[in-house]
């Protein structure tokens, strides 16, 4: 067995285990034993933010695999370079998710699903972004907004 492949498998297994453990931690502290003042403070907030990032990255990975398999390719055709490209834009996508979670709000599983969805559809957001056309710039100027 290739030691390089074994190393990746171990890293993947440890990451998956940490993701599941953080989910169990959040489930326990938010739903099973919710102390009123500690739900949105301390380690619960830190773990929840990391868990949201994990859901978003899982969505980005699922999108890559979805596109790969729709092209008729297999697991052997995975290119780590193409898999890591979405991770470089993940801070931009994550800011939108994080801003949905207001201060004093308890962690919810619904926001985890939104994080997964935003990760899965990250390309749609960036494909719509582009330079402002001359007509769009004129319309913004007429409305009193700057183009910068």
pLDDT in tens, 79-91: 888 888 888 888 8
Average pLDDT over residues 25-54: 72
Note whether residue 63 is domain-resident. Answer: yes
More confident residue, 52 or 34: 52
* Domain count of the fold of the chain: 1
d(CA 14, CA 26): 18
Determine, yes or no, domain membership for 112: yes
- Domain contains 148: no
pTM of the predicted model as reported, rounded to 2 decimal places: 0.70
Inside any domain, residue 73:
yes
Q: How far apart are CA 124 and CA 102, in angstroms?
A: 25
Name which of 53, 50, 36, 49 is nearest 104 in CA terms: 36
Highest-confidence range of 39-43, 79-83, 104-108, 140-144, by mean pLDDT?
79-83
Answer whether residue 34 is part of any domain. yes
Which domain, by its residues, includes 90? 3-143
Residue 41 included in any domain: yes
Structural domain includes residue 137: yes
HSE at residue 119, side-chain half, CA atoms within 13 A, is: 30
């Amino acid at each position: 067995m290739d030691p390089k492949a074994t190393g990746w498998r171990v890293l993947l297994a440890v990451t998956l285990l940490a993701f599941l453990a953080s989910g169990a931690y959040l489930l326990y502290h938010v739903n099973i034993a919710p102390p009123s003042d500690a739900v949105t403070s301390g380690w619960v907030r830190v773990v929840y933010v990391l868990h949201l990032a994990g859901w978003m990255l899982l969505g980005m990975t699922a999108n890559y695999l979805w596109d790969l398999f729709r092209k008729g390719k297999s697991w052997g055709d995975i290119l780590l370079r193409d898999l890591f490209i979405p991770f470089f834009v993940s801070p931009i996508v994550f800011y939108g998710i994080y801003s949905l979670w207001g201060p004093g709000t308890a962690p919810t599983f619904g926001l985890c699903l939104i994080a997964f969805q935003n990760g899965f559809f990250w390309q749609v957001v960036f494909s719509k972004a582009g330079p402002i056309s001359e007509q769009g710039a004129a319309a913004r100027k007429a409305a009193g907004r700057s183009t910068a």
